[in-house]
Structure 1
């Protein structure tokens, strides 16, 4: 298992190194064709979807706030039955303005409007997030897949915590927990790719 994680860490770092040679990073590469960057807007337009694996993702940012390190995040999904089947949110991957990984987190169902799947069913889909697609950048696609593979155990923990948080949540107005706009983020973990790689001997 550690060797698989080490290989994922190597791949993520390799993608960053190749992009850095061109004075780029995963964020700049994702936004390369954007004429402007507005909060909440999906990049790339229409999202990325690999029909062979069912992997799907988009990037967006929130309005800037003082003291906030995160520029935006990649929302990662899997459509296990193809483009006409249900879509399930796995995790969001937050990066800073330099494209550096800073956190992983899960969100309530209303945030992304996906088809609800319980924790164990969602966790089983993590290996399916493996986009081999040129758009908008093969390196960004491989970086995202590597990050999810590297932190799969942590993401599984976040997804289980998501379900625990929602099961314990009571809305003041009686709304179902998964529809309550007061409950947005359900779990999060600060991460440092280089520190994780060093811990694996990479």
Structure 2
């Protein structure tokens, strides 16, 4: 297991190093073809989808807020039955304005409007988030895949916590928990890629 995580850490760092040598980073590379960047707008338009694995993602930024380190986040999904089939949110990956990984988190269903799956069924899809796809950037696709592989244990914990939080949530107006706009982030974890890699001896 540690060797799998070590290899994922090496892949993620390699992608960052190659981008840095080109004067870029994960965020700049993701937004490279954007003429302007509006908060909540999906990048790239139409999302990224790997038809072989069913992995899908998009990035969007937040409105600027004082003291907020996170620039925006990648929403990561899997479509196990292909592009026309159901879509299931796995996790969101937050980065700062320099493309540095800062947190992983899960969201309520209304946030992404995905097809709901209970925790264990969602967790079973996690290994399928593995993109070997050139557009918009092979390095960003590999970096995201490596981050989810590196933090697979943590992502599983976040997904289970999502379900616990939703099961315990009482909406003041009696609305179903998964529709309650007052509940957006259901679980989160601050992360440091280099610290994790160093702990694995990478």
TM-score, with length taken from structure 2: 1.00
Shift of 1:99: 0.1
Shift of 1:23: 0.3
Residue 75 (structure 2) aligns with: 75
1:179 and 2:179 matched: yes
1:33 and 2:68 matched: no
Q: State how many pairs are aligned.
A: 202
Residue 55 (structure 2) aligns with: 55
User: Counterparts of 1:14-163 in structure 2 under 5 Å?
Assistant: 14-163=14-163
Secondary structure at the aligned position of 2:166 is classed as helix
Residue 195 (structure 2) aligns with: 195
Shift of 1:172: 0.6
Secondary structure at the aligned position of 2:167 is classed as helix
Distance 1:83 1:128 in 2: 14
Secondary structure at the aligned position of 1:72 is classed as strand
1:12-49 CA-partner distances (Å, limit 9, x unpaired): 00000000000000000000000000000000000000
Gaps of 5+ in 2: none
Distance 1:28 1:61 in 2: 12
Distance 2:197 2:50 in 1: 27
Distance 1:66 1:159 in 2: 29
Secondary structure at the aligned position of 1:103 is classed as strand
Distance 1:80 1:101 in 2: 26
Shift of 1:62: 1.2
Distance 1:84 1:63 in 2: 31
Shift of 1:84: 1.1
Distance 1:155 1:43 in 2: 23
**Segments of 4+ moved more than 3 angstroms:** none
Secondary structure at the aligned position of 2:189 is classed as strand
Distance 1:84 1:28 in 2: 30
Distance 2:173 2:46 in 1: 35
Distance 1:73 1:158 in 2: 16
Secondary structure at the aligned position of 1:189 is classed as strand
